[in-house]
Structure 1
Amino acid sequence: MKTRSCFILMGRAVLALALSFCPLITVQAVAAETASASALENSVVKVFSTLRGPDPYKPWSKAGPQEVTGSGVVIDGHRILTNAHVVGYASQVQIQANGAGDKIPATVLAISRGMDLALLKIDDDSFFDSHKPVPRANVLPDVRDAVLAYGYPTGGTSLSITKGIVSRIEFVRYNYPVSGLRIQIDAAINPGNSGGPVIAGDKMIGLAFAGALNMQNIGYIIPNEEIDLFLRDEASGTPHGKPAMFDTIQTLENPALRTFLKLGKNVEGAVVLAPFSKEADYPLKELDVITHIGDFPIDNQGMVKLNANSRVRFQYRVQQLAKNGLLPLTVVRNGASMKVSLPVSSSHPMLIPSLAGNYPSYFIFGPMVFSRATSEFMNVPNGNPQILYGMAFAGNPLMTRRGDKPDAQREELVVIASPFFPHKLMNGYSTRFFSVLYSVNGVPVRSLAHLVTLLRDQTDDLLTFRFEQRDAEAIVVPRKEMLAATESILTDNGIRSEASPDMLKIWNEKTPAGK
């Protein structure tokens, strides 16, 4: 009994000793967690930008200044990561730390509009002594993982933190033609949150970049995998963007389609509906069935496994598997399986491209303003169903050729970018605003540069402009009077130059006859 009592007493003493340390351990853990949270909050900044974007309908000038705010986060290398749409076309950028009263000037170091990512730098490196980089997770989160979204949504000046979970992971289009992984969360993401970090545990899993319009509790983040691709591409010194496939693909779910293709039950994959190129040496052919990308099997919905709980479109694996511009695929063609190497790149030439961060080229000739058709130029028609209907009814190429690639006959579409300036030379003609120029004196126009060359070298007294749509009248004007009118029109409208620098260079290469 004495021995047993002794052991009981000793056990109680050890327990009491352990319990006596529990409050101390708890306080230390709370203190460490508080310090970590404070350091994280100190690394999230508010971004202030003054944007001067392009004005596609007055291409000789910029749009009026627009003040926007967003969020950013300190990362390694004394850099701040944010979204491209927060600082794109910025004439001024400033950042402000949490709880600080001063704004610090910043410069855009790198930008990817396709991936909606940008890097900022500031001149004062001492800022980073007290604002440390946020550690980034190197694996994707799981669905249902808890997350915290940090940022500066509009409506307040202090740091906001919202809580939620990971809802799903997808591979979707960001800004055409770039696609990437996207994580959906149910933590609130509002205007101003863009560029702020989203945290799981004690590490950043991605960058907030969008909320779903007219929906509640749906926000989207760019995961670290995409961010790391962007950082590596920029670090290379010659950024190339993300490689991608541009072939048209359809699923293999329908039984009749499988019968038509004479496929065995064991064949799964995605069908090539239209190869990106019709050249004889292009590796993919119409109605090929892509069964594997690298070693990853593709199911009949065109999906591959991302992890145990998620599938994404198989094109996601392109950015992981492409080497030196070639992508390994396995296809079934006419019943036989074969391996092919598909050329891939980040470039996808379009007849109606994006400005990609540039300002539009233009050429003013008398009362007429010519420019290139771009996706930005289509902003007004896209928002007006009546204009779209009228353009479609007339067969305007801005509608009928939206998805076409350029070729030797048509490198780009030349448009009338603005209503005609008031002038007697245009008496009796309706404005051709949004019309696509087809020819000058019977010569088809390939590009804006080609148009400037044609007008520069023209010697005929009269110029006939024809437009590519059913209801477009021809415009005939005296050449010398158009040249003479240009200068007065520029002066009357406060326009500094008759052309953008690239077009002015072409115009001045040779003095036009009779000018």
Structure 2
Amino acid sequence: MESEIEPVMASITEGGELDEVNEEGAKGIAQAPPSQPTIRSLKREKAWALRSVLKVFVVRTEPNYAQPWQMRPQRSATGSAFVVDTEGRHIITNAHVVSNATSVHVRRPGNPKKWKATVLCEAKSSDLTLLTVEDPLFWEDDLRPLEFVDVPDLQHPIFVVGYPMGGDSLSITKGIVSRITMTRYAVASNKLLGIQIDAAINPGNSGGPAFADLEQGKVAGVAFSKITHADNVGYIIPWMIVAHFLSEYREHGTFRGSCSGGFRFQDMENTHLRAYLKVPENRSGCVVYKIDPLSEACQVLDVMDVVMEVDSVPIADDGTVQFRDDERVEFSHIVRCKHIGDTLHLTILRNGQEMEASYQLGQLRPLVPVLHGLDCTPSYFIVGGLVFVPLSIPFLEHAYGTRKWRQLSPIPLLGMITEYRSFADEQVVVLVQVLASELNFGYNFSTMHCHSFNGMKLHNLQHLAQLVDTCTDRYADILMFLAQVFHCLCRLGKPGCPFNLNFFDAGHRGCWSCTTV
């Protein structure tokens, strides 16, 4: 089972108590290595970097996808941020720190005043947000931008600075770079390059800098998550992902999204598979098994093509490319570093013949939307007390729990997560709840895929609403898929009219009904 990665969300301040230290303990402390540098212990000319690390105060109201007609209760939280551009007055933090915020304020270290901040640009797939403070007084003091450096080598020292739970003042923890790997920045999103560190990251550290050189103010990445039930396994966002986000904002004024190669692949380590695909001994790559019909890849790639090179970089049979000496990452990293509209060059093998293929990259179009505010917003349709919503990851999280939705969600719905859309506005319409009344007494269904209405296959939730609105019959048939066995046949009248619900199971060749007037 894959370890669960938990964003280090904003925290609520907690108090603590100090234990007594006896004489022997005091001697042990005296002999201990010196503590990590703080603003007071560093010389003033070297403490400027810490003064650019801010505490973020957020009040948020989140949507409720399980009951989309209402919002979740308002709550307050905190996180971290830091200055990256004083001329443009730009502050960077994590997207999950300020998502769904109704109020955002920032505070400088050692200064009690909280300044109103405004969101300039948000990239949920990269978990990054750009803030600004419009009040010029905020920028008058000695506030300098922090600079990023390229991905540090393994074992390189890292200082994580921010405002984690356990106190209100600035905190510094030290560790090293443990690993360079591809990781998910959000649930069910595409993997991006991440830096794993062993410095302590806790709730409230989100959005803070991880310094490769604290004295010079050189930042290796932005703290954003940790693995639950593991000791000191945290992740920071490297410079190349931040640079991609900032360049999108400078050129387009918004973040258009991460690129998708437009196809899914499997490894090619099996010798029999290599022989079947006629792959030469001196070549390697991965096998295309699904293609996005809305992408340009659909015009140049075929299922069972072997992708051997991406932008002239060889791909191994396990789907990885060389990153640095003795380090490898998934080849999708090369795709993610590109912008929408850039050209991807592939070397492929088709029926034993090597050829070149090129196409423009677009945004991922999953059949099941992944992130609130990125590719979905709450919507619903109610008729006869039956509640329909579009299937999305946020809905599954809210209905079955953020940590347990993969285990508890209906299997047929989970199988749709890896599918592509057939047309731009396609949605999976799901019956999620029956609001009890005499009109629908005896209906005990929930979370079922709604396939068609009166024989018309549903395109999306809007299509269902239009079909119901234009239906002139006393009854309507709503076809429901029930697992992978067959389906349910629902006959439903408009509000205020009697309706009849029939179940039909082809396996039993029988039906039974319940009528309410």
- Fold match (TM-score > 0.5): yes
Tell whether 2:440 aligns with 1:426: yes
* Aligned counterparts of 1:64 and 1:430: Cα–Cα separation in 2: 30
* Aligned counterparts of 1:323 and 1:51: Cα–Cα separation in 2: 31
Q: Could you say if the C-alpha distance between residues 409 and 234 of structure 1 is closer, same or farther in structure 2, counting changes exceeding 3 Å?
A: closer
After TM superposition, list the pairs within 5 Å mapping 1:154-233 onto structure 2: 154-175=165-186, 176-201=188-213, 202=216, 203-233=218-248
Q: Is the partner of 2:439 in helix, strand or coil?
A: helix
| 1:20 aligned partner | none
Q: Which amino acid aligns with 1:232?
A: S
> Hey, which of these two has a bigger chunk of helix by percent?
1
* Aligned counterparts of 1:390 and 1:40: Cα–Cα separation in 2: 46
Which 10-residue stretch deviates more, 326-335 or 279-288? 279-288
Q: Is the partner of 2:205 in helix, strand or coil?
A: coil
Q: Could you say if the C-alpha distance between residues 65 and 480 of structure 1 is closer, same or farther in structure 2, counting changes exceeding 3 Å?
A: closer
Q: Is the partner of 2:202 in helix, strand or coil?
A: coil
* Aligned counterparts of 1:402 and 1:318: Cα–Cα separation in 2: 21
Tell whether 2:135 aligns with 1:118: no
Q: Post-superposition shift, 1:33?
A: 6.1
After TM superposition, list the pairs within 5 Å mapping 1:438-477 onto structure 2: 438-469=451-482, 474-477=489-492
Q: Could you say if the C-alpha distance between residues 369 and 94 of structure 1 is closer, same or farther in structure 2, counting changes exceeding 3 Å?
A: same
Q: Post-superposition shift, 1:323?
A: 8.0
| 1:55 aligned partner | 64
Q: Post-superposition shift, 1:320?
A: 4.4
Deviation per CA, 1:49-105, whole angstroms, max 9, x where unpaired?
112111112211211112221100111021110000011111111111112212222
After TM superposition, list the pairs within 5 Å mapping 1:161-310 onto structure 2: 161-175=172-186, 176-201=188-213, 202=216, 203-237=218-252, 239-277=255-293, 282-310=299-327
Q: Could you say if the C-alpha distance between residues 333 and 75 of structure 1 is closer, same or farther in structure 2, counting changes exceeding 3 Å?
A: same
Deviation per CA, 1:107-136, whole angstroms, max 9, x where unpaired?
211111100000111221221222524332
Q: Which amino acid aligns with 2:62?
A: G
Q: Post-superposition shift, 1:408?
A: 5.6
Q: Post-superposition shift, 1:277?
A: 4.3
Q: Could you say if the C-alpha distance between residues 350 and 340 of structure 1 is closer, same or farther in structure 2, counting changes exceeding 3 Å?
A: same
| 2:16 aligned partner | none
Q: Post-superposition shift, 1:479?
A: 2.2
Tell whether 2:410 aligns with 1:391: yes
| 1:7 aligned partner | none
Q: Is the partner of 1:163 in helix, strand or coil?
A: strand
The answer to whether the 8 Å contact 2:257/2:340 transfers is: no
Q: Could you say if the C-alpha distance between residues 242 and 401 of structure 1 is closer, same or farther in structure 2, counting changes exceeding 3 Å?
A: closer
Q: Could you say if the C-alpha distance between residues 193 and 337 of structure 1 is closer, same or farther in structure 2, counting changes exceeding 3 Å?
A: same
Q: Which amino acid aligns with 2:352?
A: G
Tell whether 2:80 aligns with 1:71: yes
| 2:50 aligned partner | 41
The answer to whether the 8 Å contact 1:409/1:446 transfers is: no
Q: Is the partner of 2:245 in helix, strand or coil?
A: helix
- Which of the pair has more CA radius of gyration? 1
Q: Which amino acid aligns with 1:263?
A: V
Q: Which amino acid aligns with 2:193?
A: L
Tell whether 2:394 aligns with 1:381: no
| 2:346 aligned partner | 329
After TM superposition, list the pairs within 5 Å mapping 1:334-353 onto structure 2: 334-353=351-370
* Aligned counterparts of 2:280 and 2:451: Cα–Cα separation in 1: 51
* Aligned counterparts of 1:415 and 1:93: Cα–Cα separation in 2: 35
The answer to whether the 8 Å contact 1:51/1:66 transfers is: yes
Q: Is the partner of 2:448 in helix, strand or coil?
A: coil
Q: TM-score, normalised by structure 1?
A: 0.79
Q: Could you say if the C-alpha distance between residues 372 and 172 of structure 1 is closer, same or farther in structure 2, counting changes exceeding 3 Å?
A: same
Q: TM-score, normalised by structure 2?
A: 0.79
128, 147, 163: which one pairs with 1:152? 163
| 1:363 aligned partner | 381
Which 10-residue stretch deviates more, 291-300 or 380-389? 380-389
Q: Post-superposition shift, 1:287?
A: 3.2
Q: Could you say if the C-alpha distance between residues 109 and 263 of structure 1 is closer, same or farther in structure 2, counting changes exceeding 3 Å?
A: same
Q: Which amino acid aligns with 1:310?
A: E
Q: Which amino acid aligns with 2:388?
A: F
* Aligned counterparts of 1:137 and 1:390: Cα–Cα separation in 2: 41
Q: Post-superposition shift, 1:409?
A: 12
* Aligned counterparts of 1:476 and 1:323: Cα–Cα separation in 2: 45
Q: Is the partner of 2:67 in helix, strand or coil?
A: coil
Q: CA RMSD in A?
A: 3.0
Q: Could you say if the C-alpha distance between residues 280 and 147 of structure 1 is closer, same or farther in structure 2, counting changes exceeding 3 Å?
A: closer
* Aligned counterparts of 1:455 and 1:277: Cα–Cα separation in 2: 29
| 1:3 aligned partner | none
Q: Post-superposition shift, 1:417?
A: 3.7
What runs of 5+ residues in structure 1 fail to find an aligned partner?
A: 1-29, 484-515
The answer to whether the 8 Å contact 2:474/2:494 transfers is: yes
Q: Is the partner of 2:43 in helix, strand or coil?
A: helix
Which 10-residue stretch deviates more, 111-120 or 437-446? 437-446
Q: Post-superposition shift, 1:250?
A: 2.5
| 1:11 aligned partner | none
What runs of 5+ residues in structure 2 fail to find an aligned partner?
A: 1-38, 499-517
The answer to whether the 8 Å contact 1:353/1:373 transfers is: no
* Aligned counterparts of 2:59 and 2:74: Cα–Cα separation in 1: 6
| 1:495 aligned partner | none
Q: Post-superposition shift, 1:425?
A: 0.9
The answer to whether the 8 Å contact 1:154/1:192 transfers is: yes
